[in-house]
Amino acid sequence: MSRFFMNERETLVEQALEGFAESHSGLVDVHPDPLFVTRRTPTTGKVALLSGGGSGHEPLHTGFVGQGMLDAAVPGDVFTSPTALQVRAAIQAVDSGEGTVMVVKNYTGDVLNFSIAAELLADTHRVEQVLVDDDLATEREDDGGPGRRGTAAVVAVEKICGAAAEAGVPIAQVRDLGRRVVARSATLGVSFEACTNPETGRRSFELEPGEMEFGVGIHGERGIQTRVIGKADDLVESLVSRLVEAVGLRRSDSVLAIVNGLGATHGLELAVAARQTRRVLDGQGIDITRSLVGPYVTSLDMKGLSITLTALTDDLVKFWDAPVRTPALVW
Amino acid sequence: MSRFFMNERETLVEQALEGFAESHSGLVDVHPDPLFVTRRTPTTGKVALLSGGGSGHEPLHTGFVGQGMLDAAVPGDVFTSPTALQVRAAIQAVDSGEGTVMVVKNYTGDVLNFSIAAELLADTHRVEQVLVDDDLATEREDDGGPGRRGTAAVVAVEKICGAAAEAGVPIAQVRDLGRRVVARSATLGVSFEACTNPETGRRSFELEPGEMEFGVGIHGERGIQTRVIGKADDLVESLVSRLVEAVGLRRSDSVLAIVNGLGATHGLELAVAARQTRRVLDGQGIDITRSLVGPYVTSLDMKGLSITLTALTDDLVKFWDAPVRTPALVW
């Protein structure tokens, strides 16, 4: 018996997508075979913006399909890349002639399958890619490995590129804007309790009382270090300090801060983290010009949070502020 | 050591409110002493709508302060009623002469303190109350007890009364509209894992593998029955069938369905529940005219969900659809 609420493991993603689509039927359509999600009302004459990846990170990416953000999202099974054929079908559905920008989180399977999809369409469609690799915990000296993982900065990339595409910005500039956001972003995550494996109903790892994992990603894996849980403020300070250094922020800089719940983290906990994020940055003369606090990129029901900082410029703020109308983000 | 992410138990609510207010500084103001939350931009010349109660249910109620919904929210400590003096101060701050409607969830402490506040202002302010008591699990033969608890139907009451107040509807009608919503609503909740007590870091109760609690409220307490976890669809069917009966729904009726996460429930799980809610109602010829799926009335980080059905009429749909701009609800 699992404590993950579902019918069978095999039907989880399909049934959840049906429920999601019905709850947001004014905004999105689910195409079942091959599986992808598009806006209910397609917008043509603009660059198409598409993303996707394994399920289990909701509201990412399906919750960000809609006006001002994604044209399509391509969900795989839980923590599993979608196939190249899914991605190809989604591109064919949303590319209205201005080309498609794919936002791809840096995981081997995703990178492979999105690239194959683009290659399959090379003769007929212009497809550009923004690779998101914001997770500091996986930074290594150049070891020929896969590089940093993609985590919550993907929300900033999708929002900003989505606004640019909606405003009629051409494909190369939408792509470059996304790459700029990635280059100006960094994320670190921590976990206080692992997520439930829907297959077994067991947690993906066990922590001793008072322990936490530092530097977790979004696939239920352990972090880079097991630490003692201290005060929230001390932990947030250590996260934010590393992010400030990694992004190269200086006094008077302006940032977007995403304080992201990993699935089972309560609003009170996220608000305490958001408060200290602001205080640490204030102390260094860095201004949180925009922020987003809530569960946006989850790791199933993991208890934990990540903090993302993105260095802002005026044009990035303008695209961040542009109207958005999706199931998970509205303004 | 607690796995609830915070600094000290004593400062949890205060610091979370600071973080919340800073993250939504365009929308809300926190008044620290006595503690209450108001819209950043007050709206005068209309009935004031106010609610409140213990913290730990976020986004309820503070996340619903803003245009088209609440004028003020009065938070107590975790799972603890605010004081009458807090409520009084909030009424004084938001009543612009058209009177105040208080939305009160049916708990002894809340009922007492909100009533005292109204009495303290009886000479100078007109204050009306809508008591929300939608939780079927606590229905008893009339035993002189406190009656049914107030749970997620409060979101429908606050949205609909908020829209009516914003539209200039006078106080008696706003109150009666709220009471109509309550009379047409019922809720049932289930839990697969208890919430963390922030004080001790322990779960408020322990379940054996494969067990769940049926008929839980929103204060971390056990339900009315411990059951074996079966398939999601079977459980949802048993919840929805009881709600249909309690609300007295018939073929061709139209409902608002709120599929509410209790804190640690994942979007995939809620979507599976939303899907089956629609199927069960479809099978009875009842139309989900509007729905809301997500964590709106939480019980700290409890893993579980509640389903609320509200029988709709055209005027209720109109007020539900009216624009709303709050931290947690925007359309």
At which of B149, B184, B219 does a domain end? Answer: B184
Does B275 contact A at CB distance below 8 Å? Answer: yes
Beta carbons within 8 Å of A212's beta carbon, 6+ residues apart = A190, A191, A192, A226, A227, A228, A229, A235, A304
H or E element at residue B61: none
Residues A177 and A238 in one domain: no
Report the number of distinct structural domains present in chain B. Answer: 2
| Nearest CB to B229; choose among A1, A264, A274 | A1
Model confidence over A4-44: pLDDT tens digits?
899 999 999 999 999 999 999 999 999 999 999 999 999 99
Burial class (CB in 10 A: 0-12, 13-18, 19+), B44: exposed
Decide if A219 is catalytic.
yes
Decide if A61 is catalytic.
no
Residues B111 and B244 in one domain: no
Task: Give whole-number Cα distances, A11 to A14, A78, B157, B233, B235, in Å.
Answer: 5, 11, 35, 12, 17
Model confidence over A168-208: pLDDT tens digits?
999 999 999 999 999 999 999 999 999 999 988 889 999 99
Beta bridge partners of B190: B214, B305
The reply to whether B155 falls in a domain is: yes
Longest dimension (CA), chain B: 57
* Residue B297 near residue B57, CB atoms below 8 Å: yes
Task: Find the closest chain A residue to B303 by CA distance.
Answer: A264
Beta carbons within 8 Å of B236's beta carbon, 6+ residues apart = B273, B276, B277, B280, B307
Collapsed DSSP state (helix, strand, coil) of residue B296: coil
Residues B220 and B96 in one domain: no
The reply to whether residue B5 touches residue A209, judged by beta carbons under 8 angstroms, is no
CATH value at residue A247? 3.30.1180.20
The reply to whether B318 falls in a domain is: no
CATH value at residue A135? 3.40.50.10440
Residues B154 and B214 in one domain: no
Chain B partners within 8 Å of A267 (Cβ)? 16, 20, 58-59, 63, 298
Q: For helices B314-321 and B171-183, give the axis angle rounded to 10 degrees.
A: 110
Does B20 contact A at CB distance below 8 Å? Answer: yes
pLDDT score recorded for residue A127: 98
Residues A120 and A223 in one domain: no
Model confidence over A200-230: pLDDT tens digits?
888 999 999 889 999 999 999 999 999 998 9
pLDDT score recorded for residue B113: 98
Q: What is the pTM of this model?
A: 0.97
The reply to whether B169 falls in a domain is: yes
The reply to whether residue B23 touches residue A193, judged by beta carbons under 8 angstroms, is no
Rg, chain A, Cα only = 19
The reply to whether A326 falls in a domain is: no
Query: Which residue's structure tokens are 């990035």?
Result: A316
Q: How confident is the model at residue A98 (pLDDT cuts 50, 70, 90)?
A: very high
Count H helices and E strands in chain A, helices first: 8, 12
At which of B132, B154, B184 does a domain end? Answer: B184
H or E element at residue B172: helix B171-183
**Among the residues of chain A, which ranges form H helices?**
12-23, 84-94, 108-120, 153-166, 171-183, 232-247, 267-283, 314-321
Does B210 contact A at CB distance below 8 Å? Answer: yes
The reply to whether A271 falls in a domain is: yes
Longest dimension (CA), chain A: 57
pLDDT score recorded for residue A209: 85
Does B300 contact A at CB distance below 8 Å? Answer: yes
Residues B216 and B232 in one domain: yes
**How far apart, in whole angstroms, are the C-alpha atoms of residue A214 and residue A46?**
41
Burial class (CB in 10 A: 0-12, 13-18, 19+), A37: buried
Collapsed DSSP state (helix, strand, coil) of residue B189: strand
Residues A165 and A284 in one domain: no
Residues B290 and B178 in one domain: no
Q: What angle do CA B304, B158, B262 make, to 5 degrees?
A: 10
Q: How confident is the model at residue A231 (pLDDT cuts 50, 70, 90)?
A: very high
Burial class (CB in 10 A: 0-12, 13-18, 19+), B144: exposed
Task: Find the closest chain A residue to B233 by CA distance.
Answer: A7
Collapsed DSSP state (helix, strand, coil) of residue B90: helix
User: Could you count the other beta carbons within 10 Å of the beta carbon of residue B135?
Assistant: 27
**CB proximity under 8 Å: A 179-208 to B:** 192-193, 201
Collapsed DSSP state (helix, strand, coil) of residue B179: helix
Task: Give whole-number Cα distances, B37 to A65, A278, B2, B62, in Å.
Answer: 32, 20, 28, 7
Residues B155 and B195 in one domain: no
ipTM: 0.96
The reply to whether residue B271 touches residue A7, judged by beta carbons under 8 angstroms, is no
At which of B184, B218, B237 does a domain end? Answer: B184
Q: How confident is the model at residue A282 (pLDDT cuts 50, 70, 90)?
A: very high
H or E element at residue A197: none
The reply to whether A331 falls in a domain is: no
Chain A partners within 8 Å of B261 (Cβ)? none
The reply to whether A328 falls in a domain is: no
B296: tokens are: 């709106």
**How far apart, in whole angstroms, are the C-alpha atoms of residue A45 and residue B233?**
42
Task: Provide the residue-wise pLDDT of chain B in tens; the chain has 331 residues.
Answer: 347 899 999 999 999 999 999 999 999 999 999 999 999 999 999 999 999 999 999 999 999 999 999 999 999 999 999 999 999 999 999 999 999 999 999 999 999 999 999 999 999 999 999 999 999 999 887 777 888 999 999 999 999 999 999 999 999 999 999 999 999 999 999 999 999 999 888 899 999 988 999 999 999 999 999 999 899 999 999 999 999 999 999 999 999 999 999 999 999 999 999 999 999 999 999 999 999 999 999 999 999 999 999 999 999 999 999 999 999 999 9
Residues A113 and A100 in one domain: yes
Average pLDDT over residues A51-80: 98
Residues A107 and A178 in one domain: yes
Task: Give whole-number Cα distances, A204 to A194, B25, B181, B184, B307, in Å.
Answer: 6, 38, 43, 42, 29
The reply to whether A74 falls in a domain is: yes
Q: What angle do CA B191, B193, B198 make, to 5 degrees?
A: 115
Beta carbons within 8 Å of A238's beta carbon, 6+ residues apart = none
- Look up the domain containing B161 and give its range: 9-184
Residues B224 and B259 in one domain: yes
| pLDDT higher than threshold 80 for residue A277 | yes
**Beta strand A72-78 pairing with A48-55:** parallel
